[in-house]
Amino acid sequence: MAIFKGAGVAIVTPMYADGRVNYGKFTELIEFQIKNGTDAIIVCGTTGEASTLTHEEHLDVIRHCVKVTGGRVPVIAGTGSNCTETAVYLSKEAEEIGADGLLLVSPYYNKATQNGLYAHFKAVGEAVKLPVLLYNVPSRTGCNILPETIVRLCRDVENIVGVKEASGNISQIAHLAAIAKGCVDIYSGNDDQIVPIMSLGGLGVISVLSNVAPAQTHEICSRFLEGDVRESCRLQLEALELCNALFCEVNPIPVKKALNLMGMEAGALRMPLSEMEPANAERLEKAMKAYGIL
């Protein structure tokens, strides 16, 4: 059974001006998501600035999310690392904390061959019992998990069940769907490709857009799953300008700015991320107003 179907939010980690995690605001953001129909919460991913959290903070943020969510929707914890030993440690801890699933990004900077990727993910997957989603985002990691490697992992390791596909390469994703023959749960990792990927058999999205428009992102997915593809497509295209604005600078700079504009007080970014350039902030605000969320 899939960990979830529909729209999962890649949730931000709100912070105070001095960089400390703002757990009060984090609670509010989680409640906002659940109230507006989000189908799963993905915590400590790229959008959650996991790469600048200490291990202790990383686990505390997961712990807080699990506690506040209280089983109302699945919590999927980002526990990937470019160090296999660290990924195993974080994954075991997240399982102990009570996460419902794990998201493992491909090793970044040091990268790996396809055989190295297979060995890395297999080691982490076999260290836990939770269902695992791989995360393919070569624009950030410099490392592409090929479809054949994904299928091999999902067939060989019982609890590796799917992938968040953020390669942007629809041809590659189509090839994955074709050779997987149903053994890989595929989620869009790009908000502008929800409907195209679901049309190839995808189950939904792990979304940045959902931070600011959870009900609308849920609706894109639910309409598709209910068979109303035309309306799902209309909603996808309606959101396209905002999706593009949310990625006009590196994520999560724009989405934190958007939440702050909405009065949600997501707060500061941790260095080396910096505040949004004025022209891009103006573009984002304009897109939010056009979409009706500001």
One DSSP character per residue, 1-61 reads --S--EEEEE----B-TTS-B-HHHHHHHHHHHHHTT-SEEEESSTTTTGGGS-HHHHHHH
Ranges of beta strands (E only) in the chain are 6-10, 40-43, 75-78, 101-105, 132-136, 160-165, 185-188, 204-207
- For residues 11 and 253, the answer to whether their CB atoms sit within 8 Å is no
Determine the 3-state secondary structure of 162 from DSSP: strand
Give helix 84-97 / helix 55-69 axis angle, nearest 10°: 30
In angstroms, what CA-CA distances link 90 with 15, 22, 119, 144, 158? 22, 21, 17, 23, 20
Q: Residue 71's CB: how many other CB atoms inside 10 A?
A: 9
Determine the 3-state secondary structure of 224 from DSSP: helix
* Catalytic sites, residue numbers: 135, 164
Lookup: tokens for 87: 């990924």
Cα–chain center distance at 194:
13
Q: Which amino acid is at 149?
A: T
d(CA 4, CA 41): 10
Lookup: tokens for 169: 């390469």
d(CA 118, CA 125): 10
- For residues 235 and 54, the answer to whether their CB atoms sit within 8 Å is no
